[in-house]
């Protein structure tokens, strides 16, 4: 049935394709009593599902090759283990459904493995994955985890955690739609990093059936369900037009009267660098180093491993500026070696710089790795700390940088209202500020950035957030230092003009947004940007601020 759903557009462009669900992790079939005459049928269903899953694992192993192939083949063997098959048959004979029998037989086997020492215990996760696959097939629900698909698809999820991202194949994901997550959630950040259109905070998104055709407009936030051929054609035409207009924009970020605002890229590691270079990024404004370590969060990476990863990013911008953020673990990005377990409220807990100051050896290793990575390169390395609350924090970070012998500028992220309000005192310790507007909005409005229902309060157009940006930018101007924005606010082309008007000195964003911001900024003078900023700050709501800025800039 044709219909239009509305969420929050967070990554420009149009994606048209069939939806595939990000499967849920644990499926527990209900325990029902099956009549004896159905036992044979249930046994056959169980066998078919086991065979299909094993064949699928082998096929995917053949495609992947290397180490992955060995793991997938081992999983296929687990699926076909004769003892498991016998246990499943026994359970079906006494009245279990096929799915429940598989579920329980694996649970028994799992308990055996888990108690059998370290090596076997390490296989438990693989075993759970096999069980979930078989049970999902029997229940006719999506496979757990990232969809198995050879065809490009629109990914549908409740929300995406940073750890999910490592498993996505960018060549297959046309776009994202999520039910949860606001404009600053990791789903949104990831979509921008991959340059795919995305809509978040879409109520009921996960109720769309697997295989439904949708058209996702990441600019307007609209998702057309079963769009007609004419609608698809029209959307494609508009998207192509927009793209062609952008292709004409190049060069450094500047207003129409030549005020320079460097446009930098947000990257999560070396894999994001080619897109940044292609988009004409003038450097990196935020290297989220924790993204490199999310897939194995159990141990701190070695100094050598880190050095190699940092060097790859630094080498890509020979004369440019690269701002590296030291590990920002905690809250939505936990790392086991840094994040305390069982915090009652992780977003307000020991995260970011706080965790690093509790583990000085982890911070020192990272800073030494950065110093080594930059050796002999002409790059302008800048290093900053996440979640700086006050001058004491800023001083502790600056001291750690000096002790590590780092020849770089060191700075503080402004993500906590206290840091914006007292930016002047923080600037006595560090050489630059970078506004993390995602967390700054979260803490200003007491609105969890992962909760889609609070998207209104996460809107970076909120005048209270603009006031804090203005306070930090003004303090930096007075101190003769720089103050960039590296939160998602910088990727909204209209807001980028307002931020420039507020005195922000550089803008850093997912690479795909750079052409949009560049072409918008080039349309207006610095004075127009200042007037738009004033009008936005005078408003009482995010919508009011947006409308007021729009009005000033369109000359109405
Ligand atoms: C921010 O909070 O705005 C920011 C840039 O950091 P992250 O999104 O990684 O928390
Ligand atoms: Mg942050």
Q: What is the Cα gyration radius of the chain?
A: 26
Q: Which atom of ligand 1 is nearest to the CA of 486?
A: 5
Q: Which atom of ligand 1 is nearest to the CA of 186?
A: 8
| Residue ID of nearest Cα to ligand 1 atom 8 | 438
Angle at 422 between CA 418 and CA 426, to 5 degrees: 105
Q: Is 195 left (phi over 0), alpha (psi -120 to 50) or beta?
A: left
The pLDDT of residue 204 is: 85
Q: Which atom of ligand 1 is nearest to the CA of 488?
A: 3
- Residues with Cβ within 8 Å of 234's Cβ and at least 6 positions away in sequence, in order, are none
Select from 182, 184, 331, 499 the residue to mutate for testing ligand 1; criterion: most ligand atoms less than 8 Å from CB.
184
Distance 401 CA to ligand 2 centre (A): 20
Q: Order the strands of the 153-157 sheet from edge to edge.
A: 3-6, 222-225, 213-217, 14-21, 153-157, 173-178, 198-200, 8-11
The pLDDT of residue 448 is: 92
Q: Which of 186, 401, 483, 497 is catalytic?
A: 186
Distance 115 CA to ligand 1 centre (A): 40
Distance 435 CA to ligand 1 centre (A): 9
Pairing assessment for the beta strands 213-217 and 198-200 based on DSSP bridges: unpaired
Q: Which atom of ligand 1 is nearest to the CA of 437?
A: 3
Whole-model pTM: value is 0.70
Residue whose tokens read 């259109």: 197
Q: Which ligand has its closest atom nearest to the C-alpha of 434?
A: 1
**How many residues are listed for the chain in this entry?**
556
Pairing assessment for the beta strands 8-11 and 3-6 based on DSSP bridges: unpaired
HEC profile of 153-167: EEEEECCCCHHHHCC
Distance 97 CA to ligand 2 centre (A): 47
| Residue ID of nearest Cα to ligand 1 atom 3 | 436
401 in catalytic set? no
The pLDDT of residue 297 is: 65
The pLDDT of residue 117 is: 59
Q: Which of 21, 401, 483, 486 is catalytic?
A: 486
Select from 266, 324, 439, 499 the residue to mutate for testing ligand 1; criterion: most ligand atoms less than 8 Å from CB.
439
- Residues with Cβ within 8 Å of 199's Cβ and at least 6 positions away in sequence, in order, are 7, 8, 9, 10, 175, 176, 177, 178, 216, 217, 218, 221, 222, 223
Q: Which atom of ligand 1 is nearest to the CA of 286?
A: 5
Bridge partners (DSSP) listed for residue 483: 433
Distance 108 CA to ligand 1 centre (A): 43
Which pLDDT tens digit goes with each residue over 481-498? 999 999 999 999 999 999
186 in catalytic set? yes
Nearest to 381 by CA among 437, 434, 311: 311
The pLDDT of residue 120 is: 59
The pLDDT of residue 295 is: 65
Residues with CB under 6 A from ligand 1: 286, 288, 328, 415, 436-439, 486-487
CB atoms within 10 A of CB 265: 32
Select from 165, 415, 420, 465 the residue to mutate for testing ligand 1; criterion: most ligand atoms less than 8 Å from CB.
415
Distance 328 CA to ligand 2 centre (A): 8
Between CA 256 and CA 241 the distance in angstroms is 23
CB atoms within 10 A of CB 245: 12
The pLDDT of residue 66 is: 64
Between CA 525 and CA 303 the distance in angstroms is 46
Percentages (nearest 5) of helix, strand, coil residues in the chain: 50, 15, 35
The pLDDT of residue 301 is: 84
Residues of the chain with pLDDT under 70: 24-27, 64-68, 114, 116-125, 161-167, 245, 295-297, 556
- Three-state DSSP class for residue 185: coil
């Amino acid at each position: 049935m044709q219909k239009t759903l509305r969420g929050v557009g967070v990554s420009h462009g149009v994606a048209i394709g069939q939806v595939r669900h990000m499967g849920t992790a644990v499926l527990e079939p209900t325990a029902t009593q099956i009549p004896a005459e159905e036992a044979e049928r249930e046994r056959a269903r169980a066998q078919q599902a086991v065979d299909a899953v094993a064949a699928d694992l082998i096929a995917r192993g053949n495609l992947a090759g290397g180490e992955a192939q060995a793991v997938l083949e081992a999983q296929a063997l687990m699926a076909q283990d004769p003892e498991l098959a016998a246990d499943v048959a026994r359970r079906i004979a006494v009245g279990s459904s096929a799915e429940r029998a598989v579920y329980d037989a694996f649970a028994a086997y799992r308990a055996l493995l888990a108690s059998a020492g370290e090596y076997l215990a390490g296989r438990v996760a693989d075993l759970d994955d096999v069980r979930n696959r078989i049970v999902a097939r029997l229940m006719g629900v999506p496979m757990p985890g990232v969809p198995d698909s050879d065809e490009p698809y629109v990914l549908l999820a409740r929300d995406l955690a940073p750890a999910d991202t490592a498993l996505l194949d960018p060549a297959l994901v046309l776009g994202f739609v999520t039910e949860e997550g606001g404009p600053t959630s990791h789903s949104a950040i990831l979509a921008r990093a991959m340059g795919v259109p995305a809509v978040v905070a879409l109520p009921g998104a996960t109720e769309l059936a697997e295989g439904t055709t949708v058209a996702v407009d990441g600019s307007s936030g609209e998702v057309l369900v079963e769009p007609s051929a004419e609608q698809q054609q029209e959307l494609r035409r508009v998207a192509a037009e927009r793209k062609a207009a952008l292709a004409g924009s190049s060069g450094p970020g500047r207003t129409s009267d030549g005020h320079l605002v460097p446009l930098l890229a947000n990257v999560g590691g070396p894999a994001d660098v080619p897109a940044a270079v292609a988009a004409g990024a003038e450097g990196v404004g935020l290297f989220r180093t924790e993204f490199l370590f999310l897939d194995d969060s159990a141990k701190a990476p070695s100094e050598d491993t880190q050095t190699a990863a940092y060097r790859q990013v630094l080498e890509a911008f020979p004369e440019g500026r690269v701002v590296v953020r030291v590990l920002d673990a905690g809250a939505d990005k936990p790392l086991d070696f840094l994040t305390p377990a069982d915090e009652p409220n992780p977003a307000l807990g020991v995260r970011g710089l706080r965790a690093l100051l509790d583990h000085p050896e982890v911070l020192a290793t990272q800073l030494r790795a950065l110093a080594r990575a930059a050796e002999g390169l002409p790059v302008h390395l800048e290093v900053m700390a996440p979640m700086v609350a006050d001058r004491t924090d800023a001083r502790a970070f600056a001291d750690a940088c000096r002790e590590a012998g780092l020849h770089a500028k060191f700075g503080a992220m402004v993500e906590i209202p206290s840091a914006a309000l007292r930016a002047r005192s923080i600037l006595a310790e560090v050489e630059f500020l970078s506004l993390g507007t995602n967390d700054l909005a979260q803490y200003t409005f007491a609105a969890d950035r992962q909760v889609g229902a609070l998207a209104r309060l996460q809107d970076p157009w909120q005048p209270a957030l603009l006031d804090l940006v203005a306070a930090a930018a003004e303090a930096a101007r007075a101190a003769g230092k720089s103050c960039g924005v590296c939160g998602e606010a910088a990727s909204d082309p209209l807001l980028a003009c307002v931020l420039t008007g507020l005195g922000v000195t550089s803008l850093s964003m997912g690479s795909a947004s750079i052409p949009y911001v560049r072409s918008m900024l080039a349309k207006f003078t610095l004075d127009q940007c200042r007037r738009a900023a004033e009008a936005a700050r005078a408003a009482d709501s995010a919508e009011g601020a947006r409308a007021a800025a729009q009005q000033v800039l369109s000359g109405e």
